[in-house]
A and B are shown apart, each in its own frame.
Chain A
Amino acid sequence: MKEEANMHAGTLQSFEDSMRALEELVRRLERGELSLEEALAAFEEGIRLVRALNERLTEVEARVEVLTRGDNGELKVDPLASPGKE
């Protein structure tokens, strides 16, 4: 169970991972120990991450749904008509 949770955390943390990867690239560039080719590769990777991160922020469609069980016990997901009222 714990392993499962960790595995799951691995995928859901991808945003944070990308963010950390970006920060690490910046650090490496700032340290100035990279060859010009490495620096260019790091820069390109960084820009790619920035783009991916920005896309990731807005890629999930904002929606509120209600999860219920039907008569046959099946799970159903429906849009929430009017939150806070019933």
Chain B
Amino acid sequence: MSMVNSSPPVSAPFLSVTELTQLIRQTLEAHIDTVWVVGEISNFRVPSSGHFYFILKDEGAQIAAVMFKGANRGLAFTPHDGLRVLVRGHISLYEPRGNLQLYVDFMEPMGVGSIQLALEQLKQRLQAEGLFAAERKRPLPSLPRCIGIVTALSGAAIRDILTVLQRRFPYVRVVVRPVRVQGKEAPLEIVAALEDLQQLPDIDVVIVGRGGGSKEDLWAFNDERVARAISGCRVPVVSAVGHEIDLTIADLAADVRAPTPTAAATLVVPELAEVLNRIEQQRRLLVTAFTRVVELYRQRLKQLAQRLRDPRHTVENLRLRLDELAERAQLAMARRLEYGRQRLRALADRLTALSPLAVLDRGYAIVKHRPSGQIIRDARGLAAGDIVEMQFARGRAAALVRETEDP
């Protein structure tokens, strides 16, 4: 080609930059048609325009890529750095900057399907939002007045649920809000049904579900709107989607996840017989306990009645005690008398020993003045001519004082 010659051509006109980039672009577009490329996304960004800009790379090379808003709107998942994707697009040149770009119109994650990835991403997003948090889960009423059911009227699910309800606890009002449980319309119908059932004033719990089916059949229950309607419901919601192994977003958002519709019905009502048993058991305990209380008071009354006779016992006791005391007093008195008597005798003996009469026995005499009877201890008390009386141990004698003598 003439334009790649090393020396400028004589006749050919020079190209402007615009002309060159145009030429490159036209050449590229003419030679490289639609391509399918596998690579890893990096530097992924979405400006306010809504277009996706990123780099597609592998171990050896990289290329700028763009996916316009019109194309990326249909994408179920959100691409992110590090994601290996298969893209379809065409190569072109962004002339204003001379950049080579891959214009992507289709993208699918490698490894997992895009739908699966979208589901994972939705799950993570709602999880991060706390929609599945355990503290959001409400307990089911022990005895609902009215049970709302959101499911298809034609399915096996409604039959199973009604059968179980009838068997376990027939005294309950059930309101079915029929919906399509698969297909494009299903999510919005389920959302509307949940809203309608909440209008019923005595609704206490809602079962949302359907019977088993393929992953695609259950897809409505992986819808974000359904999940939000379930978590926003004013009464607890039991999810019952497919079989045990099918875990949907709706299941995660529900207050209680029942593995099957049958299980859901079992969860929302108690077994009538069991409840009746429970009441009867409490009634029996009540009667027994009350009887025991009455018996207790009867016993106490009996004891009190017995203790009421106590005053008589007390008098009797006092009398006995009095007798005993009297006896002891008498004994003590006698003992004391005896002691006194002995002391008296001892004193009398001692008195006897001290008696002047005893001295007289030893030969002394007592001289008394007559007639005063005064005992004479000093001769000066006497004068000649006084008469004195002398008392001997035995008998007396009178004597005339002849003279006195001073000591």
Q: Which residues of A contact B (CB under 8 A)?
A: 1, 4-5, 8-9, 12-13, 15-16, 19, 22-23, 25-26, 29-30, 32, 34, 36, 39-40, 42-43, 46-47, 50, 53-54, 56-69, 75, 77, 80, 83-86
Contact = CB atoms under 8 A, between A and B. Distances in A.
Nearest to A31: B289
A34 B176 contact: no
B196 interface: yes
B94 interface: no
B162 A83 contact: yes
Band of interface residues on B: 35 or more
A67 B200 contact: yes
B322 to A, nearest CB: 41
Interface in B4-56: none
A86 B181 CA distance: 15
A59 B143 CA distance: 12
Contacts of A54: 276, 279
A36 B171 contact: no
A62 B282 CA distance: 26
Given A5-B235, A12-B144, A43 B173 contact: no
A63 B173 contact: yes
A53 B282 CA distance: 11
Interface string B131-154: 000000010011111101000011
Given A8-B234, A86-B153, A86-B154, A60 B145 contact: yes
Given A26-B282, A86-B153, A67 B142 contact: no
Given A57-B171, A60-B145, A67-B175, A43 B290 contact: yes
B98 interface: no
Contacts of B156: 84
- Majority secondary structure of chain A interface residues (helix, strand, loop or mixed): helix
Contact of A84 (B142, B162, B272, B285): B162
Contacts of B234: 1, 4-5, 8
A62 B171 contact: yes
Contact of B142 (A1, A15, A66): A15
Contacts of B293: 29, 32, 34, 36, 39
A16 B143 contact: yes
10 contacts: A1-B232, A12-B145, A15-B142, A22-B282, A26-B289, A36-B294, A46-B282, A77-B200, A80-B176, A86-B154
A25 B166 CA distance: 33
B158 interface: yes
Interface in B163-177: 166, 170-177
B321 interface: no
A63 B174 contact: yes
A13 B234 CA distance: 15
A16 B141 CA distance: 8
A20 B341 CA distance: 87
B196 A64 contact: no
B292 interface: yes
A62 B138 contact: no
B279 A50 contact: yes
B296 A32 contact: yes
Contact of B286 (A43, A58, A64, A75): A43
Contacts of B146: 60
B44 to A, nearest CB: 36
B162 A64 contact: yes
Given A46-B286, A67-B196, A86-B154, A57 B276 contact: yes
B177 A50 contact: no
B289 to A, nearest CB: 4
A67 B176 contact: yes
A59 B170 CA distance: 11
Contact of A65 (B138, B173, B196, B276): B173
B286 A22 contact: yes
Central interface residue in A43, A60, A65, by most chain B CB within 10 Å: A60
B357 to A, nearest CB: 90
B298 to A, nearest CB: 10
B279 A53 contact: yes
A25 B171 contact: no
A45 to B, nearest CB: 9
Interface string B275-307: 110110011011101101110110000000000
A39 B287 CA distance: 11
